[in-house]
Structure formats: structure tokens, C-alpha cells
């Protein structure tokens, strides 16, 4: 494979990984600098399917990757699940569990259930971390609330 063809091959590979489909228009842009012999060399390597061009091994790799579910990503919980978890597993009263669940759920909903740059893998672990961080503040607020109501 000549250097010019190799450069175009790499560009096609990157586009295919990014969007899983290299259109005829994109291919025309990629190969405009190649001569006819180089174009023919490249076209013998590529496959055509559903109006897309691509590199067979990249297509095969992307197909395998799609089929494997990511076991580490959890489904986002409903607020009622968080409240249930807090009242039954962490012995919160209903009032405190409701407030905590609202804060927790709204915070992570805003962040699309991301922890840093990664999708949340276990919401119960995230709740436990929040408890270590915020439980003293919750207890102080609850104490102040009950003292004020007497």
C-alpha cells in the first residue's frame, strides 16, 4: 500500500470508528488526491453496504463491540427506589429519606448519571458515598428543624 493510500485508509478508518459509516460523499473527499491506480487499490480493500463504505475488519470489530452489553453501567433508579433503599437499608425516616433522595436524584440527573467522566456503575455505592459526605449535615438540619418546632 502506498503512503498516499495508507493516509486515506487511516482517515476512512477514523471516520468509520467515529460514525460507523463512510458515505460516498465523504469517500470522494478522502480520495480526491489519489490517482486512478491508487483509488482502485483502495477500493479493492473497502466494502460497500447500505450506501456506506468501510474497512471490513473495523466493521467486524464495531459489530462485536455493539453486541456486548456494558455490564458495569447501572440503570438510573427511580426516586421511590432510593427512598425505599434509605428507609429499609439505612434506617432513614420517610421525611429525611424523601429530602435526601430528591437531592441525590436531581444532582445525578443533572449530570446524566455520570461520576466524573464515567457512567455511574452502582447507584447504591454512590448513595453510600453521599451519606458519608452529607449525613452529618442532614442530621444537623433535622435537629435544627425539630428544635425550632418545639
Query: Does residue 59 surpass a pLDDT of 50?
Result: yes
* Per-residue pLDDT, 96: 86
**Dihedrals phi, psi of 99, to nearest 5 degrees:** -65, -45
Residues 6 or more apart whose Cβ sits within 8 Å of residue 109: 76
- Residues 72-121: tens digit of each pLDDT: 667 888 888 898 888 888 888 888 889 888 989 999 999 888 888 888 88
- HSE of 32, CA atoms in CB hemisphere, 13 A: 6
At 68, is the pLDDT very low, low, confident or very high (cuts 50, 70, 90)? very low
- Tell me how far CA of residue 63 lies from CA of 52, 56, 66, 84, 140, in angstroms: 15, 11, 5, 39, 53
Question: Would you kindly state where each structural domain of the chain is located, as residue ranges?
Answer: 3-67, 79-148
The CATH number assigned to the domain with range 3-67 reads 1.10.10
Query: Does residue 146 surpass a pLDDT of 50?
Result: yes
Supply the pTM of this predicted model.
0.45
Amino acid at each position: 500500500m502506498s503512503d498516499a493510500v495508507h493516509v486515506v485508509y487511516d482517515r476512512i478508518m477514523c471516520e468509520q470508528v467515529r460514525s460507523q459509516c463512510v458515505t460516498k460523499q465523504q469517500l470522494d473527499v478522502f480520495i480526491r488526491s489519489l490517482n486512478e491506480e491508487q483509488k482502485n487499490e483502495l477500493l479493492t480493500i473497502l466494502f460497500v453496504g447500505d450506501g456506506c463504505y468501510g474497512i471490513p475488519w473495523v466493521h467486524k470489530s464495531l459489530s462485536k463491540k455493539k453486541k456486548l452489553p456494558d455490564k458495569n453501567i447501572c440503570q438510573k433508579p427511580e426516586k421511590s427506589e432510593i427512598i425505599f433503599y434509605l428507609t429499609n437499608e439505612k434506617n432513614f425516616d420517610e421525611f429525611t429519606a424523601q429530602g435526601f433522595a430528591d437531592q441525590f436524584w436531581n444532582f445525578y440527573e443533572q449530570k446524566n448519571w455520570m461520576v466524573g467522566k464515567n457512567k455511574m456503575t452502582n447507584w447504591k455505592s454512590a448513595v453510600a458515598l453521599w451519606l458519608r459526605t452529607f449525613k452529618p449535615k442532614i442530621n444537623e438540619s433535622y435537629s435544627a428543624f425539630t428544635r425550632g418546632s418545639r
